[in-house]
Structure 1
């Protein structure tokens, strides 16, 4: 790995992976404990509509994805907050329509054909220095927001009715969380792509939840796990000439199954003792 770091693109890739891992640890924890993985997936895939709109309008793809993701997140939030029984259907429709709009707009963009694979499966090795300067303030904004309203997020995540009773603005917090998910998704797309966003958002928190007892510790451990998966995935992709985003997710997936397998062994052992 040290040999690979002599190249600027590998240093940029490692920095991008660390920044994304931190935001995934923080936001992914809130996604898991609030059980809004499906909404997060809808936001992530609908973001492709923003990418298509950006190429068609001639604006930066990151800006287009951020604005479109934010708009879709607010729509999904309104739907899920008012009518949770039907929210999954509408989210599924927005998920599909967002991707379809992106593909059609790219088809209609004259004289240019974007590489779909780089957005669907990520292109961490092609992250320029400019994107890192975009990711850093996004990381700080998300982390500072969660830190500032940490107690309120705990109340909303674990006892929503209590949060309402004591006067916590649950609706505003919920929409704030969805907005932060939209910003996080734009960052993650550069690393692992639209298709694999959910894995990086959910696998580290899922594993961390088993070894922690507070939301803060879960966020910290999730971030470190994400960094570990990213570093190992980058090293394997460099050593064996593999697609980096997919390799990172396979490393995370392997850790997920090992964690689940160890749980079964522990349960089997404790059952045998009883």
Structure 2
């Protein structure tokens, strides 16, 4: 029967443009002579290559023109909207009655508005479920009293936690609020802000690094470590302490300030001399030393 409905649209409908395409798409799903069809706005938009708003406006124009009815008491497959083409249904009924020789022509007679729901069920169209009465319908997730089962929050007389702001981000792990805390509760700081704790200093002494490097050497190693870690992201105190200990354990003791011999037999302190100059001075001094073979 969809072919008869489409033929009526092509030959008798006064719709134009997008409204005509929408009506043809609806007529394409007509199952019987009742000219009842179903469609969703999204499917009509896809079939007509139009926007949903355009399809909605086209349906309003077709309903105002009397060429389309929206049957709100019925629902189609996947809860789609059910439509009826009343003028097409009237034309189809008149043609059927004219073809029946036992009945008089039905020209001018109105087509009954009663629909055969049993025939529509074969197409997936069924009556919309309506609650029997508000008193018998219950939502399992809502108590009968209408109130939520959640325990109501107690009234606040003020800020119970003086160290927690009343507004703003409450996640302690977010650095924009308080970068001194992490999700684990350990202090977070940059390498420049981190200070050697007593436990780390005791470790350096017990491991012999303080005797090996000396107090000044240990300070120099600490300054070098902070320089190399300046661009690192903030870490916890435990992480910085472990990294600092690893750095100190690999640090070499400072070079001793020995006196290097000079060619004139004197001595000059290494302070103020580069390493290359010191090596050259030592080599020349070794060459000038007597070997016992001189004649």
Q: TM-score, normalised by structure 2?
A: 0.19
When you count helix as a share of all residues, which structure comes out higher? Answer: 1
Q: Over alpha carbons, which structure has the higher Rg?
A: 2
